[in-house]
Amino acid sequence: MKHHLLFSTLLTAALGLQAQGTVKIALTGPFTGGSAPMGTSMRDGAKLAIAEINAAGGIQVGGKKMKIEAIERDDEAKNERGALIAQELASMGDLAGVIGTVNTGVCMSGDRYFQEKGITKIITPAAGSASMTQWSKAGVKDLSIFRFAADDAIQSSMVVEEAIRRGYTKVGLLFDSTNYGVSGRDDLMNQIKLQGGKLQVVAQEKFNIGDKDMTAQLLRCKLGGAQAILIWGIGPELAAVANGMAKIGMKAPLIGGWTLSMSNFIDNAGRNGNGTMMPETFIEDPITPKAKAFIDGYHRTFNVGRIPSPVSAAQGYDAVYIFAAAVKQAKSTDTHKIKAALEDLKEPVKGVIATWHHPFSKWNPADERTHEAFHRQQVVMGMVQDGRVVFANAAEKAQLVKAAGK
């Protein structure tokens, strides 16, 4: 018995020592299923950053260098699974923080376990407004959840902006019947009003997950004289819309949320997807040395010719660097101290999307932008062209090259 006790004490000590040697970061997201292109790209982008940091000896934490240890959890885009994983991670005790989550529903069901224990989490790439507004609505005073994604408010404003910029006056609105689609519709309607009501909405049409025949919805848009279709949905149904437009000979472009850059839209729509536009935080185009190094590194490490979701990969990558900077500044792996450091990052972080100056600030329940890293200027418009996403506007591309040259 005594021996047992001694043994277990030793074991605990040994485990404790081992845990002290690393910075534990959990990476969560759907690595299988319909949202998997986003989940795996985010994970792999994050792992690329972790590998780079570890190869350089790790993060300088106080007096010593510590390596990052990644803990991966597949939530399968299921809310209930996300909640279970959050509970498991929240009870780990020595976790430095969490990076990930693709689906807003999973944020809604799981993030409260992190918040209860004050565990620092950076949400990326889930974009639904609700995952942050839930905290401002609840009036939470101190929040350990941060977001590193262009939220739907930014995206919808850009979609409307693009339609106006291209001189359209009549648009059709298509959205899926999920929470994501309906709130996207509300955001778009709101933005049309905010941007001076220059767009006339000739049809507002809904479709369900799994619908393949969009003829009725599209005919309504066509009859109304829609010059573009603003759309909020997920890959396979978006592809059905693009294919349905080709069928009835409708030429109007699709403009919508960044889900239009998912491979399951691009592949299933094929040629019919050309000309589709969506806001993007990162485009797989080696326009700067940093972007080239990242893209080449991703292709080489994960043996692919095209990143399944470049946006998710780049955000996962930058999120890890920002997190690492917070660990360094906090001089600790304590998740509460890391949170405080994230709210006031002193040094700029060089990422692949941008150089991040003070991305987050002290949480203010009246303004969830305090915990949102992205602003309009970090987002560009992408366009589908022959199976890839390219820059929709040459000016935005030139601006990024110029900014990197500084």
Q: Where are the alpha helices (DSSP H) in 79-151?
A: 79-90, 104-117, 130-137
Alpha-carbon distances of 238 from 235, 248, 255, 324, 327, rounded to whole Å:
5, 16, 11, 37, 40
**Minimum distance between the CB of residue 44 and other proteins, rounded to whole angstroms?**
17
Check residue 388 for interaction with other proteins (CB under 8 A). Answer: no
Other C-beta atoms closer than 10 Å to the C-beta of 71 total 14
Measured from the CB atom, the residue of 32 and 91 that comes closer to other proteins is: 32
Helix 335-342 to helix 310-330 angle (10° resolution) is: 110
Choose one: 28-36, 152-160, 388-396, 398-406; the region binding other proteins (CB under 8 A).
28-36
Check residue 216 for interaction with other proteins (CB under 8 A). Answer: yes
Helix 152-165 to helix 179-194 angle (10° resolution) is: 50
Check residue 118 for interaction with other proteins (CB under 8 A). Answer: no
Choose one: 46-54, 61-69, 212-220, 325-333; the region binding other proteins (CB under 8 A).
212-220
Choose one: 105-113, 143-151, 235-243, 276-284; the region binding other proteins (CB under 8 A).
235-243
Measured from the CB atom, the residue of 263 and 361 that comes closer to other proteins is: 263
If you search the block for the tokens 């040259």, which residue do you land on? 405
Cβ atoms of 68 and 57 closer than 8 Å: no
Structure tokens at 295: 């893209």
Check residue 205 for interaction with other proteins (CB under 8 A). Answer: yes
The residues, any chain, with a CB within 8 Å of residue 375's CB and separated by 6 or more, are: 154
28 forms beta bridges with 73, 100
Of 317, 308, 389, the C-alpha closest to 35 is 308
Query: Quick one: which H or E segment has residue 395?
Result: helix 394-405
CA 15/CA 18 separation, integer angstroms: 5
Question: b/e map of 199-235 (b: 16 or more CB within 10 Å)?
Answer: bebbbbbebeeebeebeebbebbbeeebbbbbbbbbb
Which position among 219, 287, 340, 404 is part of the footprint of other proteins (CB under 8 A)? Answer: 219
Check residue 179 for interaction with other proteins (CB under 8 A). Answer: no
Check residue 357 for interaction with other proteins (CB under 8 A). Answer: no
Which position among 39, 45, 233, 236 is part of the footprint of other proteins (CB under 8 A)? Answer: 236
**Minimum distance between the CB of residue 236 and other proteins, rounded to whole angstroms?**
4
Amino acid at 1: M
Choose one: 238-246, 330-338, 351-359, 387-395; the region binding other proteins (CB under 8 A).
238-246
Check residue 75 for interaction with other proteins (CB under 8 A). Answer: no
**Minimum distance between the CB of residue 78 and other proteins, rounded to whole angstroms?**
12
Size of the site for other proteins (CB under 8 A): 34
Check residue 213 for interaction with other proteins (CB under 8 A). Answer: yes
Within residues 31-70, the interface with other proteins by CB under 8 A covers 32-34, 36
Check residue 387 for interaction with other proteins (CB under 8 A). Answer: no
Question: b/e map of 312-339 (b: 16 or more CB within 10 Å)?
Answer: bbbbbbbbbbbbbbbbbbbebbebebbb
Within residues 244-303, the interface with other proteins by CB under 8 A covers 246-249, 264, 267-268, 270-272
Amino acid at 200: Q
Check residue 177 for interaction with other proteins (CB under 8 A). Answer: yes
Choose one: 242-250, 293-301, 312-320, 364-372; the region binding other proteins (CB under 8 A).
242-250
**Minimum distance between the CB of residue 72 and other proteins, rounded to whole angstroms?**
18
Which position among 29, 58, 100, 235 is part of the footprint of other proteins (CB under 8 A)? Answer: 235
**Minimum distance between the CB of residue 192 and other proteins, rounded to whole angstroms?**
20
Other C-beta atoms closer than 10 Å to the C-beta of 249 total 7
Q: Which residues bind other proteins (CB under 8 A)?
A: 32-34, 36, 177, 205-208, 210-213, 215-217, 219-220, 223, 235-236, 239-240, 243, 246-249, 264, 267-268, 270-272
